[in-house]
Amino acid sequence: GWRGIWIIIGIGALIVFVLRFSLPESPRWLATHGHGQRALDLLQRMGLRTVPLSSLRADAASDTKRDPMAIVFRHYPGRVVAGMLCFAAFFGIALGLGAWLPNILVERGFPIAKSLNSIFWMTLAFPCASAFMMYSLERFGRKPTAVVAFILAGVFGLIWANATTEAMVLAVGFAMIFCIQLAGNSSQVFIAEVFPTNARASGFGLAQAAGRIAAFFAIPAFLWIQQGLGLNAVFIAMAVIVAIAAVAVTQVGPEAKGLALDEVAPPTA
């Protein structure tokens, strides 16, 4: 029954909660906040190259007195806005579409049981997208992966809106969700790398917040558009949004593949 579903979810959340305590602190953060020996010990446990303790020094990245918001808006306003657009598109579409997908399938003639079964198979695209991302980001780069995935998400969305068979709904729906998830995850990795260490959480958090706010408005907006203009209009709007997001990704910052964080976003005092 439905209670069992929530019990499984709760157990999974508790497992993640416990496992999070095994995650080590960032060696970079430790080194720039006066914990150089802990940073070196951690690198050694990870089997990575270390440096003499005397060579570690506090630098601009450890400036915790400056307002990180001021750093973000003064030095990286374009990156913040571009990140906001990317996350607004991702969360707005992912959560908005996810909320109404069962209703859309039922409206197109699928019984509720069959629509939920179809959604189950389509949502297997989530882990597949994450697995592919691990290869794609290092093979092709953050920016190309996100741009292509956003564009393909729009294309598959338009095709899915006009799918005529159950097999087509499943196949194209899987591809659409795969691309949406790949675009969003790639953007999250990329945007987390384009702000300096002493303002990374603020820059990334602002972009994420914009995405969550967009999702709040997208969920009812999907219904309003569908009721007023039809299902095709929903996916045309989605295609326009992901096209804007694809352009925004190109403005987030320089391609980060193979670069040190200080090369992508130099520490700012």
Average pLDDT in the chain:
84
Give residue 83's pLDDT band: very low, low, confident or very high (50, 70, 90). very high
Using the CB atoms, write b or e for 56-82: b if 16+ within 10 Å.
Answer: beeebbbbeeeebeebbbebbeebbbb
Map out the domains of the chain with their CATH numbers: 2-62 (no CATH), 68-258 (1.20.1250.20)
Q: What is the pLDDT of residue 10?
A: 94
pLDDT class of 53 with cuts at 50, 70, 90: low
CA distance 249 to 84: 10
Q: What is the mean pLDDT of residues 77-99?
A: 89
pLDDT at 84 > cutoff 90: yes
Which band of pLDDT confidence, cut at 50, 70 and 90, is reported for residue 54? low
How does pLDDT run across 128-160, given as a tens digit for each residue?
999 999 999 999 999 999 999 999 999 999 998
pLDDT of residue 145: 95
Q: What is the pLDDT of residue 132?
A: 95
Q: Taking 60 as the threshold, does the pLDDT of residue 58 lie above it?
A: no
The reported pLDDT for the residue numbered 76 is 87
**pLDDT tier, 184 (very low <50, low <70, confident <90, very high otherwise):** very high
DSSP characters for 179-245? HHHHHHHHHHHHHTTSS-GGGHHHHHHHHHHHHHHHHHHHHHHHHHHHHHH-HHHHHHHHHHHHHHH
The separation between CA 16 and the C-alpha centre of its own chain, rounded to angstroms, equals 19
Q: Within 10 A of 149 (CB to CB), how many other CB atoms are there?
A: 28
pTM as predicted: 0.81
